[in-house]
Structure 1
Amino acid sequence: MATRHLYVVRHGAADPFGELTEVGRRQSELLGERLAALPVDAVWHSPLARAVNSARIIGAQLPGVPVREAAELVDHVPYVPAEPPPAWAGFFDGYDPAEAAAGARLAEALIARFARPAEAETHEVLVTHAYQVAWLVRHALDAPLVRWLGLSCGNTALTAIEYRDGVTPAVLLFNDMGHLPPELRWTGFGPGPRP
């Protein structure tokens, strides 16, 4: 088996209806420019509009690279703890067992499809959502299931993970916003001081 290089990104900034804003479109363009320096083989995206449109903009910077949907990348809650941390109790209020089980199945499918070495050397961009970025990072670090909570990421922030046969995954980057000017960074987070 060969190395799978995953470049996992949260979609660009979106409005409350899930459509990219002007900021989100510009963030996606700049990320595409950054990724153009890499030997990208495919861009995969969630079926939700904010990810679809981000992926199309990114793909426009990567001539000849296929841009395709992957249902496993859809926005979902990957794990509902039996006893949520007190700070997160309100977030999980109302999740019933069926919803939690459906989220767990989607999380398992995401890991099964993308979190493993490939048959041939591959570089894939995954345009998804904050929870899925957090879930992939948590998995790569072999952290407890509940640890996906609090692994927030900004819009179009870049996370890079490598999967090689016989070794644990390597998280090379997490939430890297180096391709964005200061005024486009930190969207997708609550208010507060930023480094």
Structure 2
Amino acid sequence: MATRRLYVVRHGAADAFGALTDVGQRQTELLAERLARLPIGAVWHSPLPRAVRSAQLIGERLRGVPVQEAPELIDHIPHVPEKPPAAWAGVFDGYDPAEAAKGERLADALTDRFARDAEVETHEVLVTHAYQVAWLLRHALEAPRERWLGLSCGNAAVTAIEYYTGAAPSLLLYNDMSHLPAELRWTGFGPSVRP
């Protein structure tokens, strides 16, 4: 039975224009050091600049590992709930049915491509965005579609999921930032008390 291991990571911290900040660059370098200890066979990334640059930095540390764009990893809202929680109302404000349907199609394409078993043993890195990490986590746990809301993750955090033939996926890690020193953790979250 072949196992597909996905290491789903959020890009490093970025500025308002989508470029990695100095903090984001350092986060990604430390993430790359962690990933270099694993038998990674491929790095896939979103087409957005913050993910592209993060994937390039990871690829520099994983010499010989192909780094490729995967359009399914682009930042998007994967599902608009019928009645969004009040705290999220502004996020969905103005979303029309066509935009919501496009997001659902992208989310389904993401899981169709990556959230499945493989014919051979694989270890793949997906460099993407917070909502896509949440979507893949929700999918692995077979939670309702609206459950992606609130499953936040930090910049350069690792979520690891295994997929097996004929079995439910296994969640190995979620939002793991142990490779980052305290001062580089929890970026990408709003202000709050941290555990």
TM-score clears 0.5:
yes
Cα distance between partner residues in 2 of 1:43 and 1:91: 30
In the other structure, the counterpart of 1:81 is 81
The superposition leaves residues 139-172 of structure 1 with CA deviations (integer Å, 9 ceiling, x where unpaired) of: 0000011000000000000000000011100010
In the other structure, the counterpart of 1:190 is 190
In the other structure, the counterpart of 1:121 is 121
In the other structure, the counterpart of 2:20 is 20
In the other structure, the counterpart of 1:176 is 176
Shift of 1:182: 0.4
Shift of 1:82: 1.4
- Segments of 4+ in structure 1 off by > 3 A? none
SS of corresponding position for 1:5: strand
Alignment of 1:1-195 (within 5 A): 2-195=2-195
TM-score of the superposed pair, with normalisation by structure 1: 0.98
Cα distance between partner residues in 1 of 2:118 and 2:155: 27
SS of corresponding position for 2:59: helix
SS of corresponding position for 1:99: helix
Shift of 1:88: 1.8
Output the amino acid matched with 1:75.
Answer: D
Is there any run of 5+ residues in structure 2 with no aligned partner, and where?
A: none
Output the amino acid matched with 2:190.
Answer: G
SS of corresponding position for 2:156: coil
Cα distance between partner residues in 2 of 1:194 and 1:83: 29
Cα distance between partner residues in 2 of 1:59 and 1:169: 26
SS of corresponding position for 1:189: coil
Cα distance between partner residues in 1 of 2:171 and 2:36: 21
Identity %: 74
Shift of 1:105: 0.4
Cα distance between partner residues in 1 of 2:96 and 2:156: 31
Cα distance between partner residues in 2 of 1:65 and 1:191: 37
CA-based RMSD: 0.7
The superposition leaves residues 93-151 of structure 1 with CA deviations (integer Å, 9 ceiling, x where unpaired) of: 11000100000000000000000001110000000000000000000000011000000
Cα distance between partner residues in 2 of 1:37 and 1:69: 23
Instruction: Count residues in correspondence.
Output: 195
